[in-house]
Amino acid sequence: MNTNDINAAAKLLADARLTGVKRDPLPAALQPKTIEDGHAIQDATMALLNEAIGGWKVGLDKEGTMSRAPILKSVIQESPGRVRASGEHLRGIEAEIAFRFLKDLPPRGSDYSRQEVEDAVEAFPAIELLNSRYAEPGPRSTLEKLADCIIQGGFVCGKPRADWKSVDFAKLEVVLTVDGAEIATGTGTHPVGDPVAPAVALVNALRTTSGVKAGQIMTTGTWTGINYAGSDSLAVANFDGFEPVLTQFESSQG
C-alpha cells in the first residue's frame, strides 16, 4: 500500500471511532495486503485520533510472526471495570495475562534480552474488551481486523502479583465466568504457552521506533478464546494465584 491509501483507510477507521457509527468493510483498494500494511493503518489511525497510547496487545504465532495493536490510554481501567454496553459495543471478552512496564525500555541498536524485559515489568491478570469499527466483524479477514487494531475495545487491569516469575505458565489454571456461570476454563492455554515471549518480540520491534515507556502495558493473548457477555452481565476472570478481575457491563437504560 502507498501512503495515500494507508491514510485514506486510517481516516475511515478513525471516523468510525469518533462517530460511533459502524462501517462497511474497507474498499478493496484500501484493504491491507500484509501485516506491515495493517500496522501502518493502525499507526495512521492513532495519529488522526491524537490520543495517548497506554499500551499494546501483541500476538505471536508458533512460526514467530508478530502482530500488534495499540491500546488507547483512555480505554484502560482498573478492576472492577465498568463498561457501558450500548448497542454499538461488541461485548467480547478475553481472559489474559498482561505486563506493566515499571521503567522505560528506550530505542537502541540491539535487541533486549528476555531477562531485561522480565526485570522491567510486573505481571497481572486482565480482561480484554473487544469491539470493532466494522458493522459485521465476523467475516472480515485477519488483515482487515489487524487494521482495526485487532478489534481492541478496552482493557481492565487486575492486581499484579509480586512473585509472578515463580508462576509455571504451562500449569496456570484460568476460569472465566459470566453471571456466575463458567463459560471457559483452561490450564496452560496461552496461545504459544509463554506470555513473556510475545512481549519480548514487541519490545524488540518497538526498540527501532518509539521504545516502551514506563506505565505502558502489554497484553499477550487470550487464555480462554473469545467469549461474550450480556448487556448487564458481570464477567470475572480468575487465574489461579492471582486476584480475580471483574468487569460489570451496564445497559444504556441502566
Write phi, then psi, for 69 (nearest 5 degrees).
Answer: -155, 140
Distance CA 190, CA 74 (A): 27
Look at residue 211 in the predicted model and tell me its pLDDT.
95
Q: Give the residue-averaged pLDDT of 203-213.
A: 95
Q: Are 81 and 156 in contact (CB under 8 A)?
A: yes
How far is Cα 132 from Cα 41, in angstroms, rounded to an integer? Answer: 15
User: Tens digit of pLDDT for each residue in 22-65?
Assistant: 999 999 999 999 999 999 999 999 999 999 999 999 998 888 89
Single pTM value for the model: 0.93
Contact between 252 and 86 (Cβ < 8 Å): yes
What is the C-alpha to C-alpha distance for residues 157 and 89, in angstroms, rounded to an integer?
19
Q: DSSP readout, 134-170? A: BSS-TTS-HHHHHHTGGGEEEEEE---BTTGGG--GG
63 compared with 125, residue with greater pLDDT: 125
Structural domains of the chain ordered from first start:
53-251 (3.90.850.10)
Residue 131 and residue 150 in contact, taking contact as beta carbons nearer than 8 Å: no
For residue 196, name the pLDDT band (cuts at 50, 70, 90).
Answer: very high
Model confidence pLDDT, tens digit, residues 138-186: 899 999 999 999 999 999 999 999 899 999 999 999 999 999 999 999 9
